[in-house]
Structure 1
Amino acid sequence: MKELSLYKTLLIACLTLSSQIQAQENITVPELYGHIEYLTQKKLKGRTPGGRLNKKVIRYLRTDLKKSGVKHFNHGYFQPFYVQMRSEKEESPGPTVQTWNIMGYIPGHDTDSKNEYIVLGAHYDHLGMGGPSSKAPTKSGLHAGADDNASGTAALLEIAEKLSANRELLDRSIIIVAFGAEEQGLKGSSYFIDHPPVPKEQIKLMINMDMVGRLNDQKHIYMGGAGTFPNGMELMKKTGNAQGLSPIVHAGEVGGSDHVSFYRQKISVLGLHTGAHPQYHTPEDTIELINFAGTQKVAEYIYQVILKLASKDQELRFIDQG
């Protein structure tokens, strides 16, 4: 009887461990919801760069990456930099504040390819209580930025978790980075590529997620830059269709978000989003409007794309799109 009891105990422990491992390998709606709920809470006042509240956000992101097994570089997970905030009047510049990129990496396992890197990124900052970039009539009020870009940040954390759990599938290495101060003029990504944690020539591709929380009924996922690396157009369409999505794929049209900073340095890029909407840069961009099942589908799509691009059999080289 004691042996049977011990067997049951061990079986339950194994099943519990298996369940925990499986949970880590899945991109789930509850986890996406939890990340976006945290990032859009009123206490964070719209995730503007600088100050005590910014530090709370970056600690949250650091903790999640560390929990997922994403490794840090020699300087740790934080990359500090300074940014001058935008102002309504050009002749009266805003204050200069310190903010941070949060980054880590998942090492590839192929001897020849592990020193080539794919960057997966999303900006975590937003407009705070409004300001010059707001589209609201009064340019004031809490701008929670659920789609822009808590959605991309949540997807980043979930994809990082799944990649880390399946790192044996990666030939190339993956850098995970949450950029600060995108809304101030792509400042975080510009600083990152000017001060990369690995030699710049080893960065072969940058994938950017900015506003991926509003997948429509037609399952459209929009992207630019698919022509900046070999076979990109076909790969993005075919993989998207296999995931039940209808990709709108452009070879060029590289503009508008953090991947631009990489393209300017002649690095292949891919910028993804689920489309514009009337709540963009207004206080109405709230969690209630997020399509969580759609966000999960988009995140899974990007995960599958990364597995293909991280293979040593996939050629990665820069193709200028003019």
Structure 2
Amino acid sequence: MRSILVTGLLLASLCSAAQEYMPSPANITRTVQYLASEKLKGRGTNEKGGQKASSYVAKQFRKLGLEPGSNGRYYQPFTFTRGKHVNIPSRNVIGYLDNSAAYTIVIGAHYDHLGTAALFDGRYPIGQVHNGADDNASGVAGLLELARYYTQNGEREPFNFMFIAFGGEEMGLQGSKYYTQHPVDSLDNIHFMLNMDMIGRYNPSRGVGIGGYGSAMEWPEIFKGVQADTIKFFTDAAGKGGSDHHSFYVAGVPVLFLHTGGHNDYHKPTDDAHKVNAAAEAGILRIAVQLINNAMKVNKLEYVGEQASK
């Protein structure tokens, strides 16, 4: 009897731990340190470091038990042309959590950065490694933490989840443009898209900005009661912007965009891992979890276009 009781308590404890999992600063730090390491040389598009970064994300998706999201593969390859650079190869990395639901929540972040700046025609110092810790190793760390949360929280959510690490963002949102033009499931089936880009340099005097507040009728109600703990946030109505959520918004999908703002290391070789505030990022992700969970109480968000949201 005692053995059965102890076993039951252990199982209950394990279930409780799974349900209580929250974003981890240690995991965030580990991801950022790898993606922003000298080994990956800035994760440039069409550079070995960018390929290694996408392979790393696919490996993490596999470990978390996510299904390959693109025709039985984690990779969605594409090519694009940018100025004089023709047929540049890149790839999105897609992991899918199938909850047998009617609609899907897309969570995204771009994994690429400037690399050694070879494709930018002198706009940035060519040959210097731009590690891109905040831009956007921090967003990928957030992507993986949210994937970990929704695969390990012990719940079967009423929505499916599509986790996408986009390639080619620094070259003009190429990965998200390609995805919205070649979705693996109809865009009509997307509840909303949440994008994270530069969420690692939290400034308490500014707070974290959350864009897309005007992209769906229901966002004001969903935001009610969200507890920010020590993290301050503010909202912005715009669905358009300079990151991958823009591609989804102009395609008719409600969006949210998390961003801690610009800084002096933006697009410079000095955007290094030790400058990312992992504890604050974990707090930002706790806000994201609350928003996602509140949004799952709504059957389907009603998209609001640019003119109507003004």
What TM-score do the two structures reach when normalised by structure 1? 0.85
The Cα shift of 1:134 comes to: 7.9
One-letter identity of the residue aligned with 2:56:
Y
Is 1:297 the counterpart of 2:293 in the alignment? no
- 2:51 matches 1:36: no
> SS at 1:75's partner residue?
coil
Q: Residues 171 and 215 from structure 1, CA distance in 2 versus in 1: closer, same or farther, beyond 3 angstroms?
A: same
Amino acid at match of 1:259: H
- Relative distance call for 1:256 and 1:134 in structure 2 (3 A) is farther
Superposition pairs for residues 266-305 of structure 1, below 5 Å? 266-305=252-291
One-letter amino acid of the counterpart of residue 205, structure 1: F
Inter-CA distance 155–81: structure 2 relative to 1 (3 Å threshold) = same
Report the CA distance between 1:101 and its aligned residue: 0.4
Give SS of 2:265's match.
coil
| Contact 2:43–2:51 (8 Å) recurs in 1 | no
Q: Which amino acid aligns with 2:90?
A: T
The aligned residue for residue 80 of structure 2 is 83
Distance 1:94 1:276 in 2: 28
Structure 2 matches for 1:188-227, cutoff 5 A?
188-218=175-205, 220-227=207-214
* Alpha-carbon RMSD: 2.9
Q: Which is worse superposed, 124-133 or 199-208?
A: 124-133
1:211 deviates by 0.3
Please point out which of 152, 160, 172 is paired with 1:173: 160
Change in Cα spacing, 1:106 to 1:14, as seen in structure 2 (3 Å) is same
| Cα deviation, residue 94, structure 1 | 2.4
* Alpha-carbon distance, 1:166 to partner: 2.6
Larger radius of gyration: 1
Question: In the alignment, what sits opposite 1:321?
Answer: 306
Aligned-residue offset at 1:289: 1.0
Is residue 218–residue 301 contact of structure 2 (8 Å, CA) maintained in 1? no
> Sequence identity of aligned pairs in percent?
33
State the Cα deviation string for residues 187-219 of structure 1 (Å, max 9, x = none): 000111111111121123111100000111247
Q: How does 1:1-322 map to 2 (within 5 A)?
A: 14=10, 18=14, 22=18, 25-73=21-69, 74-84=71-81, 86=82, 90=83, 93-108=84-99, 114-131=101-118, 132=120, 138=125, 140-166=127-153, 168-218=155-205, 220-236=207-223, 238-239=225-226, 241-252=227-238, 254-311=240-297, 313-322=298-307
What is the Cα deviation at residue 107 of structure 1? 2.5
Q: Is the 8 A contact 2:197 2:258 kept in 1?
A: yes
Give deviations 1:129-174, integer Å, cap 9, x for gaps. Answer: 13538875x4551100000000000000011110112362521111
Partner amino acid for 1:318? Y
> CA deviation digits over 1:246-290, x for unaligned, max 9?
221012262110011111111111111011111100011111111
| Number of positions where the alignment pairs a residue of Structure 1 with one of Structure 2 | 304
Aligned mates of 1:36, 1:190 — CA distance in 2: 25
Give ranges in structure 2 of 5+ residues lacking alignment.
none
- Cα 1:141–1:314, aligned 2, differ >3 Å: closer, same or farther? same
Question: Which stretch shifts more, 181-190 or 75-84?
Answer: 75-84
Distance across 1 between alignment mates of 2:173 and 2:252: 17
Distance 1:187 1:156, change over 3 A: same
For residue 226 of structure 1, give the secondary structure of its aligned residue in structure 2: coil
Following the alignment from structure 1 to structure 2, what is the Cα–Cα distance between the partners of residues 219 and 63? Answer: 35
Contact 1:135 1:280 (8 Å CA) reproduced:
no
TM-score, with length taken from structure 2: 0.88
Counterpart Cα distance in 2 of 1:233 and 1:23: 27
Q: Deviations over 1:52-101 (max 9, x none)?
A: 433322221111111112222333211011133x5xxx5xx125332110
1: CA distance, partners of 2:280 / 2:86: 38
Give 1:305 deviation, angstroms: 1.2
SS at match of 1:214: coil
Contact 1:152/1:211 (CA < 8 Å) preserved in 2?
yes
- Against the structure 1 CA distance between its residues 251 and 306, is the aligned structure 2 distance closer, same or farther, given a 3 Å change threshold? same
